[in-house]
Structure 1
Amino acid sequence: MNLDIILDADPEWDSNIGWDELARSAATAAIAESAFPQLADGPRNVEISVRLAGDDEVRLLNAQWRGKDKPTNVLSFPMAEGQELAAASAEGPELMLGDIILAHGVCEREAAEKHVPIERHAAHLMVHGTLHLLGYDHSDDSQAADMEAREVRALARLGIANPYTLEAHA
C-alpha cells in the first residue's frame, strides 16, 4: 500500500511510542476491513493526516464542527467521497482520505478505565477514525453494528482483543 500518514503529535503524547507506525498499522487494518480494500494495493497513493492533540484543541474543534463544547476521544474529517473511494483502484492523483484527531487526556482516561495501554486504545480510536474517513458511521443501530464488527476485525489484525467485550477490559 502506498499509504502516507502525516502525523503531528503534541509533546504530551509519549515520544517513545512509535505513533507513526501505530497509525499506519491501524489505518491499514481498517482499510482491509472496509468496502474499499483495493485502496491497499491500488496504484494511487493514499494520505491520512493524524493529529495527536490536547483536550483543549479537540474541544474547540468539537464545538466548531459538531456544536458540542467538550473534548471527545476522536474526531474525523473525511475528504473523499464514496465514488472517489470506489474508483481508487484506477490511476490518479494522491487520494486524501482526511484528518483524524485524538485528544490526549480523554484517550488517557479511557485507556486507564479499560485497563489497557494508551497505545492500544489509541490504535482502536485510529481504526475507528479511519473507518469514518471511509464513510462508516454509527448513527443508527444497523450502521453501528456494522462499524463495530469492522473495528473488531481490524483490531484482531493488530493482535488487539475485542474492546467491546467485558473480558477485553480486564
Structure 2
Amino acid sequence: MALNQLSLSLQFGKFPEAALHRAALSRHSVARWIRHALQSDAEITVRIVGAEEGQTLNRDYRGKDYATNVLTFDYTQEPVVTADLVLCAPVVEREAREQGKTLQAHYAHLLVHGALHAQGYDHETGEEDAQEMEALEIDILGGLGYANPY
C-alpha cells in the first residue's frame, strides 16, 4: 500500500516529564501513524504541550476551560491537508493509565484521531458520523498493530 506524503513538524513544549513523552514519540513513529490515516498528502505540525498550554488553547479556541487530550486545527483539506495537532501530555498520560494502554498506543490512537479530524471527519456531528470515524480508527490502528482503542 502506497502511503501519502507527509511534511511533519514535531514540537515539544516545556513541561514536567517532557522527556518521557519525547521518548514515546519518535519522529518516525509519529509520521508512520499519521501517514496511515491520510487520504491525501499533508503538512502537519504536532505539538506536545503541558496542562497550562493545553487548557489555554482549549479555552481560547473551543470555549472549554480545561485541558483536553487532542486539539485539531485544520486549515485546508484539498489538495493538501494542512493542520496542527496539539496533544496535552498530562491528559494523554492519565488517560493511557486509566485505559490500561501504553503511552505510545494512546498517542498512536490520538494522532490517528486528530489526522482524521483534519480531513473533515467529526464524531460530534451525529451517531452515524461517530461510528464511521471510530470504524476508521479501529481499522487504521489494527493495521499498525494496535488493539481496538474503544
TM-score normalized by structure 1?
0.78
Structure 2 stretches lacking a partner, 5+ long: none
Instruction: After TM superposition, give the deviation of residue 119 of structure 1 in Å.
Output: 1.0
Query: What residue number does 1:10 align with?
Result: 13
Q: Work out whether 1:22 is the aligned partner of 2:55.
A: no
- The size of the alignment, in residue pairs, is 142
Q: How does 1:1-170 map to 2 (within 5 A)?
A: 1-10=4-13, 12-13=17-18, 14=20, 15-31=22-38, 37=39, 39=40, 46-81=42-77, 84=78, 88=79, 95-139=80-124, 140-164=126-150
Instruction: After TM superposition, give the deviation of residue 27 of structure 1 in Å.
Output: 0.8
Q: Provide the alpha-carbon RMSD of the alignment.
A: 1.5
Counterpart residue identity of residue 139, structure 2: R
* Matches of 2:108 and 2:25, distance apart in 1: 11
Helix, strand or coil for the counterpart of 1:136?
coil
Report the structure number with the largest CA radius of gyration. Answer: 1
Helix, strand or coil for the counterpart of 2:45?
strand
Aligned-residue sequence identity (percent) comes to 39
Helix, strand or coil for the counterpart of 1:79?
strand
* Matches of 2:23 and 2:30, distance apart in 1: 14
Instruction: After TM superposition, give the deviation of residue 116 of structure 1 in Å.
Output: 1.3
Structure 1 stretches lacking a partner, 5+ long: 32-36, 41-45, 89-94, 165-170
Which of structures 1 and 2 has the larger relative contact order (alpha carbons within 8 angstroms, sep 6+)? 1
